[in-house]
Structure 1
Amino acid sequence: MPEKHASVHWEGAGKTGKGQISTETGALKAYPYGFASRFEDDRKGTNPEEILGAAHAGCFTMAFAFALEGAGLAATSIDTKAAVRLVKDGDGFKIDRIALELEAAIPGIDEATFQKIAAGAKAGCPLSKALASVPEITMKATLKS
């Protein structure tokens, strides 16, 4: 399997500096980030936690779709949100929680099977495994009718 690549360019000090995040696919092409977009409510840039949340939601959703397929099922729609919480930790910071919210429409599935497949996808997705040091990764799964 090929490696995936991303890069960052930063100029200046921590609080006053500015950076740009890029991905090899161009999904993020010199996208700005800095102190205000990470620790304040500045919406003019991104931040590592937002990108991590998008990656985790994407990984989990794909794992869920594959798990459904393995059970002979297919979703009409799957929508996932991820909330990543960054908190103060001594002199630094840490991610202490990631909350996944899944909403899916799946013909022919019962609630118990839906919850079991969702829990398995959460546990088995490569990013969930990589993020095992996060103290709390929650999931709320809602089956739409």
Structure 2
Amino acid sequence: MGQIPDDAAHWDTGDWIEWHRTSLGVDDSPCAAAAQDKLAQITALHISLLRAAKGYFEMTGHHLPVYQHIAHVHAAIFCDLPLEGPDRTCAQTGVEISWLAPHSRSDDVEVDLSQPFVTLIVVKISDDFSSKARMISRADLPKSKDGPYRVAWKSLPHAF
């Protein structure tokens, strides 16, 4: 993960607000720290995706098809997973990522137990377009390798 620059005060709207900027007045030059920090870049991407999904829903009443990507970016931030895109398989990573879209009728996800995952991460995108996640070990799911299995959000033990 990236390091917070020594002169940074806090993170705000996709940029580091630096101590010397606040003490010297407004500085319109871009902050170099955010461009060099992968975590800052991924966090800014996550915020942008959530804002885009929310804006589209508020304007049209329909969902923008980005929830899978939001789930993968959330997992990259909070689980220190590489951000390689949604086309990577759980056989490569050992992680199965599922998501719950905002305004969905159910708080359950369907998991294919025949997939060779070690950990299941479920990202819930709330009706206010914020995200949170929970995870469960494959060992805590049924031993069966037959087809789909429904997992309820509230039954997932590890929140982050």
**For the pair shown, which has the larger CA radius of gyration, 1 or 2?**
2
Question: Normalised by the size of structure 2, how large is the TM-score?
Answer: 0.27
Question: Normalised by the size of structure 1, how large is the TM-score?
Answer: 0.29
More strand by share: 1
